[in-house]
């Protein structure tokens, strides 16, 4: 790893004293440790950071109405009645117990060789007894049940636990498994927690920060969250631990930011009479106030000898590309080169076409008809022919091409640039940190960095909260955009669906173009990249496998490009209308031909996957039909909708869905139809998703340090931690005077988490 690519690694100054790193087999014994290992818990710290999912008490029963099939649950309920009877088809007996929350019921089922095998169960599961029951929800003849659940009734708890119940302490309920129920996790936590003393648990928060925010200490926080005596206890603990998570990660990012700013960069000041000035003069429209303001910020930062690191996020169609082009031309005027990295070939080709249209003769240096002050554009993608690739490589290496547009092919070792001054990354969440650094490493000095996204969804919200990039936002749309109306179409109403295709025909006859978006390419295939079932991780795995609806019924097969295109060619309402196809498995030539035919109107209906989600700009496109709209994320739906209404004519988006009325899935689609504000949809997306999705717990593995922090609600904590962490790093970049903070960073923020934060 070279010096430039190492700046994103968290600094390590801790002495790794081994506190909390004791393996669980040594602390608890092999049997218990083996069960805990199935939960990803291997050390004392893992167990102490395995916080209760929620808290219960003996007098408040769990709401049983919303337990999902396939879900592993722990509930507090009361035994209603118990019965034992012989099995009919074979030898043996069944004990059936019904537990209740006062209104809804759940069945417990146990199988045994004979009725006498249930003596202990009958003694414990007495009608009226209250306890905790854990198992996986299944159904039998339409009745939900737990088969052979583990349980513990409150009357049978240990003396100490029973005493705790008598004074009504909250009951911690932990994420558990079939191997080890919640109360056994609690017992293991108690064993290791009781062994901790002052100084055993690292204290990453500075004293002044704790005092300012009235936070308890590190050890006390663990004691209060695992063994609270009242509700206020675990609330104080959670507040402290959220601050800790935010502070640790903000310190990592502050270190990364400081390291990047310490690297030298070449100042690229604007030049009077250059290409940028000529470009501004030929623009056929007036820049919005937002474009001018952001442009001034970028121009000032690029003109400094420290690397610009800025995120530009903007509403769909807000004109980010023009802002980026002006920044690139400033660098070209100063004798440098700019590289524009796009995630797909379709988008790279679209960027090249857009740049050529915007620059005109300014992009034709040395060519017949080229302007006196001009540069050259070149394209580098993986599918270029050998001669075209050699030509592009030569133009990039010689500096003849002031702007190089490309896909991941730009990152290849044999790609050289003469004087890379600015890296522009479009839809940056699709690139990892190594890919970003691989391109930046092609520069003699650290290049300026501009990352762009039109996706104001959890990734960008997380970046704004956590990132080491400064943020600019474009929310104002250019004058002349006619807007888009969105209508939800129930797939189960044939008359509505027929009207969809009639509406498409009307738009085509009026000179418009129509996108038809499908989740799949071929029938039976997995959904295309980025398709979301719209429910988040709260849906049980079994329901995902069976593709169940909110009502528990099998969903109809997802629409596929090839199948839908064939159907539309036979659709009476579209008789005589050419229907094209676009998806990621087509060759570059086929994709270019499909987009060219669509843009020209030769093929005015294009059936596509989400490959057209970003960057594709066909002003004549006025209607979009999104099939299985409920299977896409809110922000992705908004991105797709952004492909229409880009000209003078208004757009119509028809979201076809099989979601049932009044279900969470239908409410998501209706929310999409109810607003064209991408930032409002981003906030709603955050509210509807689990925090793990937002913060990357699934991407980062079980070792993630982000357990309690909530982007949706903890903005104030994040902001406070960010300010304080930057002050700490400014004073002590290597954390030499903060050994506990350095130790926690070294142990909890692993490289995988750090990489996720860079690309979120």
What local confidence, expressed as pLDDT, does residue 537 receive? 28
Q: How does residue 760 score in pLDDT terms, banded at 50, 70 and 90? A: very low
pLDDT at 12 over 50: no
Tokens of 319: 């004109």
* 236 Cβ neighbours under 8 A, 6+ residues apart: 216, 221, 224
Q: 306, exposed or middle or buried, with CB in 10 Å at 0-12, 13-18, 19+? A: middle
Q: How many CB atoms lie within 10 A of CB 126?
A: 12
pLDDT at 89 over 90: no
What local confidence, expressed as pLDDT, does residue 146 receive? 92
What local confidence, expressed as pLDDT, does residue 227 receive? 92
Q: How does residue 277 score in pLDDT terms, banded at 50, 70 and 90? A: very high
Rounded to two decimals, what is the model's pTM? 0.67
- 232-265 pLDDT, tens digit per residue, is 999 999 999 999 998 998 898 888 888 888 888 9
**In contact, 466 and 760? CB cutoff 8 Å:** yes
* DSSP secondary structure code for residue 17 in this structure: -
pLDDT at 756 over 70: no
Length of the chain: 760
What local confidence, expressed as pLDDT, does residue 20 receive? 82
- The stretch 218-227 carries a mean pLDDT of 95
Tell me the C-alpha distance between 403 and 328, whole Å: 7
User: What DSSP string runs through 190-203?
Assistant: HHHHTT--TTTS--
pLDDT at 724 over 80: yes
Least confident of 155-159, 203-207, 298-302, 338-342: 155-159
Q: How does residue 464 score in pLDDT terms, banded at 50, 70 and 90? A: very low
CA distances to 226, 240, 248 from 348, rounded to whole Å, are 52, 46, 37
Q: 578, exposed or middle or buried, with CB in 10 Å at 0-12, 13-18, 19+? A: middle
What local confidence, expressed as pLDDT, does residue 219 receive? 95
**In the chain, pLDDT over 70 holds for what percent of residues?**
81
φ, ψ dihedrals at 130, nearest 5°: -115, 145
Least confident of 115-119, 453-457, 535-539, 646-650: 535-539
What local confidence, expressed as pLDDT, does residue 403 receive? 95
Least confident of 10-14, 110-114, 339-343: 10-14
pLDDT at 78 over 60: yes
* 333 Cβ neighbours under 8 A, 6+ residues apart: 268, 270, 271, 274, 275, 276
Helix (H) / strand (E) containing 435? helix 433-440
* Lookup result for tokens 């839908």: 564
pLDDT at 692 over 50: no
The average confidence (pLDDT) of the chain is 82
Tokens of 520: 């799949």
Tokens of 424: 């522009």
Q: How does residue 757 score in pLDDT terms, banded at 50, 70 and 90? A: very low
> Which of 551-565, 595-609, 661-675 tops mean pLDDT?
595-609
pLDDT at 511 over 70: yes
- 560-586 pLDDT, tens digit per residue, is 999 999 999 999 999 999 999 998 888
In our burial notation (b when 16+ CB lie closer than 10 A, e otherwise), range 234-252 reads: bebbbbbbbbbbbbbbbbb
**In contact, 359 and 279? CB cutoff 8 Å:** yes
Tell me the C-alpha distance between 52 and 230, whole Å: 14
What local confidence, expressed as pLDDT, does residue 431 receive? 58
Q: Which domains does the chain have, with CATH numbers?
A: 58-168 (2.40.50.140), 275-302+319-453 (3.40.50.300), 484-675 (3.40.50.300)
What local confidence, expressed as pLDDT, does residue 458 receive? 46
pLDDT at 619 over 90: no
Tell me the C-alpha distance between 347 and 209, whole Å: 46
Question: Strand 605-608 vs strand 130-140: parallel, antiparallel, or unpaired?
Answer: unpaired
Tokens of 637: 């739906």
**In contact, 726 and 250? CB cutoff 8 Å:** yes
Cα 699 from chain centroid? 9
What local confidence, expressed as pLDDT, does residue 269 receive? 93
Q: 116, exposed or middle or buried, with CB in 10 Å at 0-12, 13-18, 19+? A: exposed
**In the chain, pLDDT over 90 holds for what percent of residues?**
41
Q: How does residue 58 score in pLDDT terms, banded at 50, 70 and 90? A: low
**3-state SS of the chain: helix, strand, coil percent to 5?**
45, 20, 40
SS3 for 701-748 is: CCCCCCCCCCCCCCHHHHHHHHHHHHHHHHHCCCCCCCHHHHHHHHHH
pLDDT at 545 over 80: no
What local confidence, expressed as pLDDT, does residue 236 receive? 96
Tell me the C-alpha distance between 487 and 497, whole Å: 12
Helix spans in 487-627 (H)? 494-509, 541-546, 561-569, 588-600
């Amino acid at each position: 790893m070279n010096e430039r690519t190492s700046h994103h690694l968290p600094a390590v100054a801790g002495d790794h004293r081994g506190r909390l790193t004791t393996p669980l087999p040594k602390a608890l014994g092999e049997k218990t440790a083996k069960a805990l290992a199935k939960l990803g818990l291997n050390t004392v710290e893992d167990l102490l950071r395995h916080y209760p999912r929620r808290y219960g008490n003996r007098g408040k029963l769990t709401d049983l109405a919303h337990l999902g099939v396939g879900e592993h649950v722990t509930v507090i309920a009361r035994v209603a009645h118990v019965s034992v009877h012989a099995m009919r088809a074979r030898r043996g007996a069944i004990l059936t117990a019904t537990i209740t929350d006062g209104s809804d019921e759940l069945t417990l089922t146990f199988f045994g060789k004979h009725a006498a095998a249930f003596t202990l169960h009958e003694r414990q599961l007495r009608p009226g007894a209250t306890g905790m029951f854990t198992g996986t929800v299944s159904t039998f003849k339409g009745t939900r049940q737990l088969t052979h659940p583990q349980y513990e009734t409150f009357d049978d708890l240990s003396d100490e636990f029973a005493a705790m119940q008598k004074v009504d302490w909250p009951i911690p309920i932990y994420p558990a498994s079939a191997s080890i129920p919640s109360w056994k996790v609690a017992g293991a936590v108690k064993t290791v927690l009781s062994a901790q003393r002052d100084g055993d648990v690292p204290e990453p928060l500075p004293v002044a920060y704790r005092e300012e925010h009235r936070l308890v200490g590190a050890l006390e926080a663990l004691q209060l969250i695992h063994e609270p005596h009242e509700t206020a206890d675990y609330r104080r603990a959670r507040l402290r631990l959220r601050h800790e998570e935010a502070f640790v990660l903000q310190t990592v990012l502050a270190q990364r930011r400081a390291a990047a700013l310490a690297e030298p960069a070449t100042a690229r000041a604007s030049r009077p009479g250059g290409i940028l000035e000529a470009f501004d003069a030929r623009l056929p429209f007036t820049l919005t106030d937002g474009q001018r303001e952001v442009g001034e910020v970028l121009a000032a930062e690029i003109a400094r000898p420290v690397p610009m690191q800025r995120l530009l996020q903007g509403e769909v169609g807000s004109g980010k590309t023009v802002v980026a082009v002006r920044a690139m031309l400033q660098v070209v005027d100063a004798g440098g080169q700019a590289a524009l990295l796009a995630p797909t070939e379709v988008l790279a080709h679209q960027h090249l076409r857009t740049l050529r249209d915007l620059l005109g003769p300014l992009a034709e240096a040395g060519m017949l008809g080229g302007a006196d002050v001009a540069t050259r554009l070149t394209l580098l993608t993986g599918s270029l022919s050998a001669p075209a690739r050699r030509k592009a490589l030569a133009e990039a290496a010689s500096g003849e091409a002031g702007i190089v547009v490309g896909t991941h092919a730009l990152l290849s070792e044999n790609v050289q640039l003469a004087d890379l001054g600015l890296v522009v990354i479009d839809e940056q969440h699709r690139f990892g940190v190594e890919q970003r650094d691989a391109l930046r490493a092609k520069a003699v000095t650290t290049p300026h960095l501009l990352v762009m996204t039109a996706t104001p969804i959890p990734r960008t919200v997380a970046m704004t909260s956590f990132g080491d990039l400064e943020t600019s936002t474009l929310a104002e749309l250019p004058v002349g955009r006619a807007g888009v109306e969105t209508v939800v179409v129930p797939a189960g109403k044939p008359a509505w669906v027929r009207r969809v295709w009639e509406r498409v025909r009307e738009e085509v006859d009026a000179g418009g173009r129509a996108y038809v978006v499908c989740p799949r390419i071929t029938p039976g295939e997995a959904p295309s990249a980025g398709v979301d079932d719209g429910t988040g991780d709260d849906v049980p795995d079994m329901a995902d496998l069976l593709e169940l609806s909110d009502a528990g019924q099998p969903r109809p097969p997802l629409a596929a490009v090839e199948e839908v295109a064939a159907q539309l060619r036979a659709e009476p309402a579209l008789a005589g209308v050419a229907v094209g196809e676009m998806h990621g498995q087509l060759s570059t030539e086929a994709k270019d031909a499909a987009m060219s035919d669509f843009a020209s109107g030769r093929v005015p209906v294009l059936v596509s996957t989400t490959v057209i989600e970003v960057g594709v700009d066909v002003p004549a496109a006025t209607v979009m039909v999104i099939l299985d709209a409920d299977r896409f994320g809110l922000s992705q739906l908004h991105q797709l909708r952004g492909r229409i209404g880009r000209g003078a004519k208004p757009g119509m988006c028809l979201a076809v869905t099989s979601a049932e009325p009044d279900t969470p899935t239908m409410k998501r689609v209706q929310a999409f139809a109810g607003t064209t504000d991408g930032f409002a949809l981003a906030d709603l997306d955050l509210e509807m998703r689990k925090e793990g999705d937002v913060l990357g717990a699934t991407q980062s593995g079980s070792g993630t340090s982000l357990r309690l922090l909530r982007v949706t609600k903890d903005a104030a904590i994040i902001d406070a931690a960010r300010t304080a962490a930057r002050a700490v790093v400014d004073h002590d970049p290597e954390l030499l005077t903060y050994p506990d903070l350095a130790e926690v960073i070294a142990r909890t923020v692993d490289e995988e988490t750090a990489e996720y934060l860079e690309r979120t």
